[in-house]
Structure 1
Amino acid sequence: MSPTGQGTPLPQALASWLDRHAEALDTSADLAAQVVPQLAQAGLFGRGVPAELGGRGGTVGDAIDAIAAVAERSLTAAFVFWGHRTFIEYLLKSPNEAVRERWLGAMLRGERGGATGLSNAMKYLSGIEALQIDATATAGGWRLDGGLAWVTNLRKEGFVAAAAVTAPDGAPPAVVAFAGDSAGVTRSADLNLLALRGSNTAAVQLANVRLDAADVIAPDARAWLPGVRPAFLGMQCAMSVGLARASLAAAQQRAPDVRGLAARATALQDALASHAHALREGAIDGRFVKDAAPLFRLRIGLAELVQDAALLELQASGGRAYLLDHDPNFARRWREAAFVPIVTPSLTQLQIELEKRAAAGGA
C-alpha cells in the first residue's frame, strides 16, 4: 500500500525499488535508463488503456491514481511516468489509427520512452508562446525544422516525442510524433536540473526531419488539444497529490511531538483528499473538456497544498530536518516541491489564463 494508506497499491517489487533508489533518481542520471522498464514491468502504463488495445482497462482516473502512488515514493519516477503515460493518451485520443498502431504497443511495453513534448503547445493554446517547430510540405509528407527546449523522458535508449507544429499551405497547426533515431533529430545532454536528474530531461533539435501520414497524431491542434488537456493536466496534478501525501504522512508521524501541528496536518490531509477526489472525478466524466477553469484552479490548489505540506513536514521535524542522517527523504521532497509550481503550465501561466477568462466573461 501507499505510505499513507491511500490511493492505489503498487506492486511490492516496484515500491521497494523506488524506496531504495528515490534519492539517486533525484540527484543523478545513473539509474535513468531503468525507470521506464521498471514501470512497464509493473504494468502501470496499461492503467486506463482499453484491454482490446493491450492495456489493463479502467479509466484515466486509474492512471491518475497510479502516478500519485509513484509520486509518494519518487517524484522523478512519477515525472517520467506522467510524460510516458500522457504520450500514450495522445495515441488513444488520436483519430489516426496508423500512428496508434505504430507506437502504442512499444509504449505499453516500455521499449521506448514516450515524451509529451506539448508544453509548448499548451502555452500556444493559451496565447503565451508561438509554436517552435515548422512543417514544410514534401513529396512524401512533411519536413520538420525547429526544436523544443525542455522535454522529459527523452530516453537515450530510444524515444518518441509528440510536438505541435505549424502546418504548410495555411492549414491549422498539427500534432505529430517523431522518433529520436530519425535522421535530423538531435538530443542535447541532460539539462543541469536542481533535482529530478534521473528523468531524461533534455532539449531536442530537428533539422530536415521527414514525416509521413502515419506520424500525424492530430491534424488540427487547436481543435484536438482542449480534448486531451484534461488528461495532460490531470495526470500532472497526480504528481502533486502523491508528493503532498508523502510529506503529510511524514509530518503526522512527528506531529504528536509538536504542539498544534497535528490539527494542521489533519486539515491539510482533508483538503488534499477533497482536491484529489474532484480531480479524479472531473477527469473521468469529461467536465474539464467543456470548462478548463476548474481544472486550472485544482492545479493551483494542489501546488499550494504541496508547499504547505512540505513546510509542515519541516516544522514537525524542526532542526533535525537539516541533518541528512535523520531523514534524507525530507531534503529530497523539499527539492521536489520546488519543481511543482514551475512545471508547464506553471502557476503563473495558469493564473494569467484564469484572469483572461474572467475578463472575457465579464466583457
Structure 2
Amino acid sequence: MTLTAPLPAPLTSWLDQAAAGLDTGAVAPGDLLPRLAAADLFRIGAPEGLGGAGGTAADVVEAIAAVSERSLAAGFVFWGHRAFIEYLLQSPNAALRDRLLPDLLDGRIAGATGLSNAMKFLAGLEELQVSARADGDGLRLDGKLPWVTNLRAEGFHVAAAVAGPDGRPFVASVAYDRAGVTRSPDLDLIALRSTSTAALKLDDVAIGADEVIASDALDWCPKVRPAFLGFQIGMSIGLARRALAEAREAAGAGRHALGTELDDAAVRLQAATDALRKGLADAAFVARPADLFRIRIALAEVANDAVGLELQASGGKCYLTGPGEGFARRWREAAFLPVITPSLVQLKAALAAQGAPAGRAA
C-alpha cells in the first residue's frame, strides 16, 4: 500500500509484520519506541539546533499519519511521545528541555502526555485530578492519571496538570522512578494493547521547580493544544487513508456502486486535512480552538466511514480469519478514535457550551 509520506523501508517492513501483534499484545510493548526512534521520526518538527530534523507541525502530522496507516497502535505511541517532546520544546524551562530531550529523541526513555485531563479542564469538562502542596522549596503531588499511553516499563517521564497550592494550575514532568509513583498493570484494552497504556497514582511525590514544564497552565495549555490535538488527528488521517485505499482495491471486484461514497469520503478527508494544515501553519487554532475541535470530529467520522466502506467493498471475506485480519484490526482501531481524549462527545459538548455548531470542518 502506497503511503502519502514515505517511511524508511526497515520500519515499513517491521510495522507490516508487527501490526497484528501490536494490536493484540503479542509484540512486546518495549519493542516499539526504539523502532520509531531508529527511523528518526521523533526529530521531525524539532529545531535542528536541539537535535531535531527541522520541519513544521504539519510534517509531524504527516509522519504520524504514515505510521498509523500501517498500525494505529504505533501511531498512538508516536503521538504520545512526540506530544511530550513538543511540551518541552514549548516550555520556558530550557534546563529541563536540555536535560530530557536527547534521550527522548533517541527513544532511550519514553515521554507520556498526561495532559488529557488538562485539556478537558480547559474545556470545562473535568476538574484537575492531581494537586500539589508546598514543601519547603519544592512541592508534593497527590492524585491519579487513570489512562496514560507510553508508560514504558523501561522508563518514562509523564506530563501532568496540577492544581497548585494556591489553586492555580501548572504543568509538571514526573519521572517514573520517583518515590510515590505507582504504575498499574497495562489496561485490558480490546485493541492497541502493545502501547504501554496504564494508570498512574501519585502519592506524596516530591518535585522541584526544575521539573515544572509551565508555571501557568491556563496560559500555556491553549498554546500547546493545537499540537496536542493536531498530532493526535494524524491517527485518524492515516487510518482513513488506508481504509479507503483498501476499499477502492476491493471495490474493483464488482462493487462499483460504492464509487460515489468513496469519492465523497476522500473529498471530506482531503478538505479536513487541508484545513488542519492551514490552521497549524497560521496558528489560528490558539484563538479559535472550536475550529480544531470540528476538524478532529470530522476526521474521526471520516475514518469510521472509511472502515465501513472497506467492509462493504470487501464483503464476506472480512469475516474470515485470514483474509479479514487486517480489516478486523482497522475496525477495532476505528472504534478507538471517537473515545480517545478528548472524545467526540466531549468535544461536541464543549462546542455546544460555546454555542458553536459541531458540523463538518470543510
With the length of structure 2 as denominator, give the TM-score of the two structures: 0.96
Given the alignment, which residue of 189, 202, 205 partners 1:209?
205
Measure the CA separation in 1 of the matches of 2:26 and 2:82: 21
Whether the 8 Å CA contact 1:71–1:239 is kept in 2: the answer is yes
Amino acid at match of 1:188: S
Correspondence 1:356 to 2:344:
no
Given the alignment, which residue of 99, 105, 113 partners 1:102?
99
Aligned position for 1:184: 180
Q: Judging changes above 3 Å, is the alpha-carbon distance between structure 1 residues 52 and 126 closer, same or farther for their aligned structure 2 residues? A: same
Aligned position for 2:284: 287
Q: Secondary structure at the match of 1:260?
A: helix
Correspondence 1:347 to 2:344:
yes
What are the equivalent positions in structure 2 for 1:1-363 lying under 5 Å apart?
3-6=1-4, 8-28=5-25, 30-168=27-165, 170=166, 172-257=168-253, 258-358=255-355
Deviation at 1:259, TM superposition (A): 2.8
Q: Judging changes above 3 Å, is the alpha-carbon distance between structure 1 residues 359 and 50 closer, same or farther for their aligned structure 2 residues? A: closer
Deviation at 1:268, TM superposition (A): 1.2
Q: Secondary structure at the match of 2:322?
A: coil
Deviation at 1:253, TM superposition (A): 0.2
Measure the CA separation in 2 of the matches of 1:206 and 1:72: 35
Measure the CA separation in 1 of the matches of 2:277 and 2:356: 28
Deviation at 1:287, TM superposition (A): 0.5
Measure the CA separation in 1 of the matches of 2:294 and 2:269: 13
Residue deviations 1:208-251 (CA, integer Å, cap 9, x gap): 11111110000011111100000000000000000001100100
Residue deviations 1:84-123 (CA, integer Å, cap 9, x gap): 0000000001011121112111110111110000011111
Q: Judging changes above 3 Å, is the alpha-carbon distance between structure 1 residues 129 and 29 closer, same or farther for their aligned structure 2 residues? A: farther
Amino acid at match of 1:352: A
Amino acid at match of 1:80: V
Deviation at 1:171, TM superposition (A): 5.2
Identity rate of aligned residues, in percent?
A: 54
Amino acid at match of 2:265: L
Q: Secondary structure at the match of 2:252?
A: helix
Whether the 8 Å CA contact 1:256–1:262 is kept in 2: the answer is no
Measure the CA separation in 1 of the matches of 2:84 and 2:181: 18
Deviation at 1:153, TM superposition (A): 0.2
With the length of structure 1 as denominator, give the TM-score of the two structures: 0.96
Deviation at 1:273, TM superposition (A): 1.4
Would you say how many aligned residue pairs link Structure 1 and Structure 2? 356
Aligned position for 2:360: none
Measure the CA separation in 2 of the matches of 1:228 and 1:302: 20
Structure 1 stretches of 4+ with a deviation exceeding 3 A read none
Deviation at 1:262, TM superposition (A): 2.4
Name structure 2 gaps, 5 residues minimum: 358-362
Measure the CA separation in 1 of the matches of 2:211 and 2:98: 11
Amino acid at match of 2:251: A
Amino acid at match of 2:164: A
Q: Judging changes above 3 Å, is the alpha-carbon distance between structure 1 residues 359 and 155 closer, same or farther for their aligned structure 2 residues? A: closer
Q: Secondary structure at the match of 1:72?
A: helix
Whether the 8 Å CA contact 2:45–2:54 is kept in 1: the answer is yes
Deviation at 1:359, TM superposition (A): 6.9
Measure the CA separation in 2 of the matches of 1:38 and 1:278: 31
Q: Secondary structure at the match of 1:326?
A: coil
Whether the 8 Å CA contact 1:94–1:218 is kept in 2: the answer is yes
Measure the CA separation in 2 of the matches of 1:269 and 1:300: 16
Whether the 8 Å CA contact 1:195–1:335 is kept in 2: the answer is yes
